[in-house]
Homo-oligomer: A and B are copies of this chain.
């Protein structure tokens, strides 16, 4: 690739934005050329905006951005539109996404971690390697909306690991019904509306507002089909989403009923045969998008979340389950890498190679 693409990051001072910046550090294809943040930070150098008056750092992501990025001045969102960027990563909350993503997309491709546009009929929920053909919806989106750019959101972080693990089961055995209980990490809630220590120490919180609906809708959209319109996958999904005292890594216990008979060995075989379609050569792609462990005590969030530099989904405890009529298993994925900033960067890489970016 001759020249790196020049990208902007909207919401650069927030935790989600910081994770995007880490994922872009020393990136061979992308160079951060502009950052935008909320009014309090505007005009400041990003490095200064990330330090409070007492000297305390407000950098909370694991890892560090490229040093040069900290010298960029925080722009207003509107400036990103005018800035001639090749791509914008949007890492803002839903309200800001509703306001700014369409204005940006009129001119520039936008890859978003926000949920604002995920359920639109012309917006794909792409996980590279899982539902590559849905990228065609981008063309339709541009046509309908008369945009030069587009909006491509990544899925909710709880959806991602589930969808990756279900893809080979659905292909091979046909899913009928998926019942999932998640044990979600506290980093999923971010900092601005973050989980209080008083609420999770020695505790579990069995409810995460709006989360279950997202996972139920998104999983079926991702594993459904696009032929000019989306048809959700032909199975039901039901979830109970809980918060546990874990920093990073969402653990999910899945019961999956299948159309065709499926035992532990064949389910495991199907999963091992699937490593993600067409990821080879993408800088942020792991060797395997999906890995299966034989250790009965795994996957564990602390020990397995960093598999494939946080981009590999790990499945374990695959067992035949006559009660559900299929299999049960446990799946783990890194919610702030594959499920957030680094997942967004992987999507940008894949869209670049497919010609949707930088052409």
Q: Which residues of A contact B (CB under 8 A)?
A: 54-57, 60, 177-179, 181, 183, 186-187, 191, 194-207, 209, 236-238, 240, 242, 244-247, 251, 253, 255, 294-303, 316-317, 321-324, 328, 330
> Are B186 and A204 touching (Cβ within 8 A)?
no
Contacts A57-B298, A197-B200 known; 15 new A-B pairs at CB < 8 A: A54-B296, A179-B255, A194-B198, A195-B196, A196-B197, A202-B301, A204-B246, A204-B301, A205-B297, A207-B297, A207-B317, A238-B255, A240-B317, A240-B328, A247-B302
- Chain B residues with Cβ under 8 A from A204's Cβ? 183, 244, 246, 251, 300-301
Q: Which of B186, B201, B236 contacts A247 (CB 8 A)?
A: B201
Q: Please give me the residue from chain B that is nearest to A236 by CB atom.
A: B323
Q: Specify which chain B residues have a CB less than 8 angstroms from the CB of A195 in the assembled complex.
A: 196-198
Whether B240 lies near A56 (C-beta < 8 A) is no
Q: Return chain B residues, CB-CB under 8 Å to A55.
A: 294-296
Q: How far is the CB of A12 from chain B (nearest CB, A)?
A: 19
Residue numbers in B under 8 Å from A197 (CB-CB):
186, 194-197, 199-201, 245
Specify the chain B residue showing the minimal Cβ separation from A204. B251
Q: Which residues of B contact A236 (CB under 8 A)?
A: 322-323
Residues of chain B within 8 A of A245, CB atoms compared? 197, 201-202, 244-246
- On whether A56 and B194 interact (CB within 8 A), knowing A201-B186, A253-B206, the answer reads no
Complex contacts, A200 vs chain B, CB 8 Å: 197, 201
Report the Cα distance A354→B280, complex, angstroms. 46
Shortest distance from the beta carbon of A287 to any chain B beta carbon, whole Å: 14
> Which residues of chain B are within 8 angstroms of A294 by Cβ–Cβ distance?
55
Closest-by-CB residue of B relative to A187 is: B198
In the assembled complex, the Cα of A253 lies from the Cα of B239 at a distance in Å of 9
Asked if residues A238 and B297 are in contact (CB atoms below 8 Å), the reply is no
From B201, B207, B238, B246, contact of A324 by CB (8 A): B238
- Contact A238 to B191, CB < 8 A, known contacts A204-B183, A246-B204, A299-B206: no
B242 touches A206 (CB 8 A): no
Report if A206-B323 is in contact (Cβ < 8 Å); known contacts: A245-B197, A247-B201, A253-B240.
Answer: no
Q: CB-CB < 8 A to A295: which residues of B?
A: 55-57
Contacts of A209 in B (CB 8 A): 54, 296
In the bound assembly, the distance between CA atoms of A328 and B204 in angstroms comes to 17
A255–B245 alpha-carbon span in the complex (Å): 23
- A237: chain B residues within 8 A (beta carbon): 323
Nearest neighbor of A330 in chain B, beta-carbon distance:
B206
Give me the 9 closest cross-chain CB pairs, A-B, nearest first.
A238-B323, A236-B323, A181-B181, A203-B302, A181-B253, A240-B253, A206-B330, A186-B197, A195-B197
Question: Please, could you name 30 A-B residue pairs with CB atoms under 8 Å apart, sorted by A?
Answer: A56-B297, A57-B298, A60-B198, A183-B204, A183-B244, A186-B197, A186-B201, A187-B198, A194-B198, A196-B196, A200-B201, A202-B245, A202-B246, A202-B247, A202-B302, A204-B246, A204-B300, A204-B301, A205-B300, A206-B251, A207-B296, A207-B297, A236-B322, A236-B323, A238-B321, A238-B322, A238-B323, A240-B253, A240-B330, A242-B253
